[in-house]
Chain A
Amino acid sequence: MSPGSNDPTSLRERETLAAKKPNLRLRAGLLQAIRHFFTERNYLEVETPYLIPAPAPELHIDAIPAGGGFLHTSPELCMKRLLAAGYPKIFQICKCFRQGERGSRHLPEFTLLEWYRAETDYLGLMEECEEMVVFVLEELGLPPRLEFQGRTLDLQRPWHRFTVQEAFDRYASTSLERAMESGRFDEILAFEIEPSIGFPKPVFLYHYPSALAALARLGKEAPNWAERFELYGAGVELANAFSELTDPVEQRTRFEKELAKRDEQGKPVYPMPEKFLRTLPFMPESAGIAFGVDRLVMLLSNQKEIDPVVSFTPEEL
């Protein structure tokens, strides 16, 4: 017997990693299938720096300081600068980092698939989202109807769509308006709505209140709503997307508000991403989406938690 072979900690690690093997194989296949989908559609795969001087100013997304700057919380700003410079169809699969996000479906370091496309809007991305998932299922040799935690997950197109307003009317104990006023929107979404949606088909939850627009464009006919959607599959948040805001003045105002709120809550205030704002006027009408790769692996491998779909969690290092 080799030294340490009876060490219970090391034994547990080897057992855990052996049990993860089918999930890690599925992950590897999924990454290839995603690349295949986008390259076939003439998307250019890009890589943008992980280490950046100024993350997107958002109240609820905290960046990890590193090397005099920050690890990116998503590749959004750099990818949009590419978009503005004449790269109309780009995708990226990268690690993103968010301070303090650790739970059964969260890791502070996780894998995001982002893609941006000129001359389309959030509705166009809903279509492409469905096509992407159906494509990768076929590539992986998986059936369109899967079992997830004892329930059926039916990934055949078309998927369901309903507005945030409709979701509140149907599932929440309070109205959308009151939830916004009392600051309980996130809580009600997470605990009352999320667990009920995305079965058996995934659902696009769209038209977020304008206060929750982040970097999204507001509706042309209905400026109370942002042209933003979130995709849920089996109660799991999979993706966030929107028609991109291209107005630099409006974008700066929103960033300033977010930074002021961060300051109020005693959170670190990030530098204004000036270079991004300067290129924004050159950005075409476009839409972009951030899709959680780990979460998709969870769904496809019938895992209700994120830990079994990554080789090592931060606690295991």
Chain B
Amino acid sequence: MYNASNLRKGLKILIDKEPYVVVDFQFTKPGKGQALYRCKLRNMINGITLDRTYRSVDTFEPADLEQRRMQYLYNQEGHFYFMDLQSYDQSALSAEQVGDAKNYLIDNLEVDILLFDGRPIGLTLPNFVDLLVTRADPWAKGDSVAGDSKPVTLETGYTLRVPPFIEEGIKITVDTRTGEYVTRVK
């Protein structure tokens, strides 16, 4: 059982027997008043979000979710397939469930697949993933609008801005939480 002080981004709780994840969370408290926890919650199965304000006396059931380490295999007809590294069972997630994580899914990448009642419902990426640059235009020097960065395309089709010295064929580390360039892989 959780109480309101356990609420934070990423916490998974049950509301009406369905798993919800706290996607946005604001703690506020008039100095002498009661603590107020304003949450945006996303239903982990259908993606619908709702807003709730909780107080310190409220309690919650944790959503009973299992996390399993799996390897990304391939995507086909809008589904992404993963293999359980222990049982070798395959699981599939829809494009909607994968969301922006598709920008980082390369063959054999190990991720954590989330299961609710045995059904796969989402995934957690490693914080940093190394990806190959497949397209990089030469840097237009003196292009003051672009500043000190230029756009490149990665092997997953994801485009982002990187420093000018990054060229095609180079691997770079990307922070999957921000989607930003971190460093060049040596």
Residues on A lying within 8 angstroms of B by beta carbon are 6, 8, 58-61, 100-106, 185-187, 189-191, 194, 212, 214, 230, 237, 240, 265, 290
- Enumerate 5 A-B pairs (CB-CB under 8 Å) in ascending A order: A8-B173, A58-B32, A100-B5, A186-B33, A194-B30
Asked whether A60 and B32 contact (CB < 8 A) given A102-B27, A106-B27, A265-B57, the answer is yes
Question: CB distance A104 to B33 under 8 Å?
Answer: no
Asked whether A103 and B173 contact (CB < 8 A) given A8-B128, A186-B33, the answer is no
Question: CB distance B28 to A60 under 8 Å?
Answer: no
Chain A residue numbers with a CB within 8 Å of B128 are 8
B108 at the interface (CB under 8 A from A): no
In the complex, the chain A residue whose C-beta lies closest to that of B173 is: A8
Chain A residue numbers with a CB within 8 Å of B27 are 101-104, 106
Question: CB distance A105 to B28 under 8 Å?
Answer: yes
With both chains docked as a complex, state the minimum distance between the C-beta of B85 and any C-beta of chain A, in angstroms.
26
Question: CB distance B31 to A186 under 8 Å?
Answer: no
Chain B residue numbers with a CB within 8 Å of A265 are 56-57
Question: CB distance A60 to B26 under 8 Å?
Answer: no
Question: CB distance A104 to B26 under 8 Å?
Answer: yes
Residues on B lying within 8 angstroms of A by beta carbon are 5, 26-36, 38, 53, 55-57, 128, 173, 175, 182-183
Given contacts A60-B32, A106-B29, 19 further A-B contacts (CB under 8 A): A8-B128, A8-B173, A8-B175, A8-B182, A8-B183, A60-B29, A60-B35, A103-B29, A104-B26, A187-B53, A189-B30, A190-B33, A191-B38, A230-B30, A230-B31, A240-B31, A240-B32, A265-B57, A290-B31
The 6 closest A-B pairs by CB, nearest first: A103-B27, A186-B33, A100-B5, A60-B34, A240-B31, A186-B34
Q: Of B34, B57, B175, B183, which contacts A6 at CB under 8 A?
A: B183
Query: Which label, helix, strand, loop or mixed, suits the secondary structure of the B interface?
Result: strand
With both chains docked as a complex, state the minimum distance between the C-beta of A294 and any C-beta of chain B, in angstroms.
13
Query: Which label, helix, strand, loop or mixed, suits the secondary structure of the A interface?
Result: mixed
Most B CB contacts (10 A, CB to CB) among A61, A190, A265 go to A190
Whole-angstrom CA separation of A230 from B29 in the bound complex = 13
Chain B residue numbers with a CB within 8 Å of A106 are 27-29
Most B CB contacts (10 A, CB to CB) among A101, A214, A240 go to A101
Chain B residue numbers with a CB within 8 Å of A61 are 32
Most A CB contacts (10 A, CB to CB) among B35, B38, B182, B183 go to B35
Chain B residue numbers with a CB within 8 Å of A237 are 30-31
Whole-angstrom CA separation of A6 from B55 in the bound complex = 42
Most B CB contacts (10 A, CB to CB) among A103, A106, A212 go to A103
Q: Of A8, A58, A103, which contacts B26 at CB under 8 A?
A: A103
Chain B residue numbers with a CB within 8 Å of A103 are 26-29
Whole-angstrom CA separation of A104 from B9 in the bound complex = 13
Chain A residue numbers with a CB within 8 Å of B182 are 8
With both chains docked as a complex, state the minimum distance between the C-beta of B1 and any C-beta of chain A, in angstroms.
12
Whole-angstrom CA separation of A236 from B175 in the bound complex = 34
